[in-house]
Amino acid sequence: MTTATAPASPPAREVRTYDFRRPTKLSREHLRVLEMAFDTLCRQWTTLLTTTLRTTCAMECSSIAQLTYDEYVSSLEQPTTLFLLDLEPVTGAGLLDVSVPVSMTVVDHLLGGPGRADQPARTFSEIEHTLLVSVFDRALGELGYAFEGVLPLAATIRGIETSPQFAQAASPSDSLCVASFELTIGAQVCLATLALPFGEVFAAVERSL
């Protein structure tokens, strides 16, 4: 007598909580377009920072996510270097976050220093503020090239905050497209992030497909 074999159980699926108030809109096609843009930005920044600072620099995109402004700000270190960005033709503000040790290393190299590992964690002097803006303004100028064919994006820095909760660049529930990068400047490595208004970036990506 042949014993019937029970059918194999289907593999367990990962269960994720779905937030109906903020449904995720990024499909694989959307992510592919954004990954290409941010990978281009990484290559441009790697070249620009290496030649400007005369030290080994590297930047690699590690993830792209849709977050609310409140979620994004809550995830940032304190103190940090949070650049507040004016964007054209996008109406909302953008944000670029870099760790204080990496920012201090940038300043150290610009002033002819060795970029030592023990960088101070403090607010920036007026000279340090000016030097940081000069470098990252040039770096952000590469956004237009990276997003060519998607959105004629231009960014300028209108300020720096070291305490994220004081930035108040958007409403807590506003949705952002947040790209995370592993940024290496000499001996310093940090997780840098670039946040752009989700709605207009998403619409531009949709049109490009």
Between CA 26 and CA 150, with CA 198 as vertex, the angle to 5 degrees is 80
Is-contact 78 202, C-beta < 8 A? no
Residue type, 73: V
Tell me, what's the pLDDT at 16?
A: 39
Is-contact 42 139, C-beta < 8 A? no
Q: Does the pLDDT at position 4 exceed 80?
A: no
pLDDT tens column, 71-112: 999 999 999 999 999 999 998 999 999 999 999 999 999 999
E-state strands within 77-187: 81-88, 94-98, 154-161, 175-185
pLDDT tens column, 11-25: 444 443 444 455 557
Tell me, what's the pLDDT at 24?
A: 59
Residue type, 188: Q
Evaluated on CA atoms 82, 106, 193, 49, the torsion sign reads positive
Question: Which two three-digit tokens encode residue 40?
Answer: 């281009």
